[in-house]
Each structure stands twice: as C-alpha cells, then as structure tokens.
Amino acid sequence: EVQLLESGGRLVQTGGSLRLSCAASGFTFRGYTMNWVRQAPGKGLEWVSTISENGESTFYGDSVKGRFTISRDNSKNTLFLEMNSLRGEDTAVYYCAKDSYDTGGFLAGMDVWGNGTTVTVSS
Amino acid sequence: EIVLTQSPGTLSLSPGERATLSCRASHSVASTYLAWYQQKPGQPPRLLLYGASSRATGVPDRFSGSGSESDFTLVISRLEPEDFAVYYCQQYGFSPLTFGQGTKVEVK
C-alpha cells in the first residue's frame, strides 16, 4: 500500500525551530518529486515547498523562503522539512504529498497525501 | 504568482443534483497543469482530476473537468452523499504552485 506518514509536529514558541519528517512506503520514493503543503486552521491549502527526485532542486513559497528547508534521504525513503524562525502564521497542519506523472511523463497532480502533522506556534 | 479564484464560495444542493464549480486564473495556465482536489473534514485532500480533465485512479465518472487558459470547470453530474465536501483547484505549471480558496458543496 502506498503510504506517507508525517511526524514531528508539536507546540513550539515563536522564533523556534522544528523538523518535520515524512516516511514513505509502497512506492519507489527516489523516483518522485515530493511536496509539503500546509493548511491553517479553518483555511485553505497553501503550497510550501517542492523537492526534485534527487534532491538537487528545491522550490519554496514566498512566505517560507529563507526560513524553511526541504530535503530528502532516498536511502531511507524519508522527506524532511526544517523550519526555523517560526511565526504564528506558520500554525497549520503540514501534509507531505507525492507528485504523480501521466503516461506522457507530464506532472499529473499530487496523488498521495499523508494525514498531516500539526504545528502550533505560540508565544 | 498565479491567483486562482473559485466560485461560488458555497454551493447548496441536494443529492442527485448537478454541481458546477468554477476556477478562474489571473494568468493563463496550461490545462496540462490544472488539478482538482476534494477534501472532507479531518482528511487530507484527494486528487480528483489532473490535466484539467483527466480523472485520477478510482475517481467515479460523475466527476468531469473542462476548460483552458484561465477558465476551468469541475462538474459533478449527480451528487452522491459522499460528494459533499470542499473542492480546490490547483495550478502546478508555474512556481509558486497555487491553490484556489475552495468551494464548499453542502447539503441543501
């Protein structure tokens, strides 16, 4: 079964740091671009970051650029999100999500999502 | 940044009715890179459609999508009880990737 399992979310103080993990199973992890997407309480979805299959290319939303770092360990089938200088507006459920590809090799949306891990930033 | 605006914000319908959801982009989006997701309370999003009109694995054929450039539509032909949820469009052709604010389909 294809599965993503996030962990690491907790209550942290403003200005603090946190590292989220996402353990992947049931598919060839190193073959897929991976993402972090977050959802603040009662709000919509916000893309956070994307990392290429080999980890060499990374992309970030403007709201987290310079504070968050995405990485992956393909030998351990795990995705990470290092979060620094946390703010109240970073409070959210953080999902990791796998990109999919169609038969032509084009991106085809995020087809597998974890259940999310909750980050709460409070002073 | 490409801003996606979904309408209406809330759609109140009865089971068996047809739902039509709109997603409008601030700039042209290649239809290849437009997706729709369904999210139920307490659950992660579920991919419904990609490439504006291709159904993801396991998605019933009552869900269909269309559109191009800056106007996209998701249609649920006959609402089933399990279809009442929030629906998001997403463009993944340009960074930053962006989502619409969502349309809630609720029971009338």
Q: Please identify which residue in the block is written with the tokens 């893309």.
A: A47
Distance of CA B104 to the CA centre of its chain: 10
Does B45 score more than 90 pLDDT? yes
Among A75, A76, A48, A51, smallest CA distance to A64 is for A48
A110, A111, A112, A118, best to mutate vs chain B, most B CBs in 10 Å: A110
Contact list in B for residue A116 (CB cut-off 8 A) is 44
Does B33 score more than 90 pLDDT? yes
Tens-digit pLDDT profile for residues A69-119 = 999 999 999 999 999 999 999 999 999 999 999 888 888 999 999 999 999
pLDDT at A17: 98
pLDDT at A106: 86
Give the mean model confidence (pLDDT) for residues B55-75.
Answer: 96
Tens-digit pLDDT profile for residues A32-50 = 999 999 999 999 999 999 9
Does B102 score more than 80 pLDDT? yes
Contact between A39 and A46 (Cβ < 8 Å): yes
Does B31 score more than 80 pLDDT? no
Question: Chain B residue closest to A44 (CA)?
Answer: B101
Record the tokens describing residue B95, joined without a space.
């960074």
Give the mean model confidence (pLDDT) for residues A10-21.
Answer: 98
Contact list in B for residue A46 (CB cut-off 8 A) is 99
Of B32, B45, B92, which is closest to A45 when you measure between CB atoms? Answer: B45
Of B49, B54, B99, which is closest to A47 when you measure between CB atoms? Answer: B99
Number of H helices, E strands in chain B: 0, 10
Does A65 score more than 80 pLDDT? yes
Provide the pLDDT confidence category of residue A26 given band limits of 50, 70 and 90.
very high
pLDDT at A23: 98
Strands (DSSP E) contained in A17-106 are 18-25, 34-39, 45-51, 58-60, 68-73, 78-83, 92-101
Contact list in A for residue B95 (CB cut-off 8 A) is 50, 59
Q: How far is CA A44 from CA A48, A69, B88, B108, in A?
A: 13, 22, 8, 22
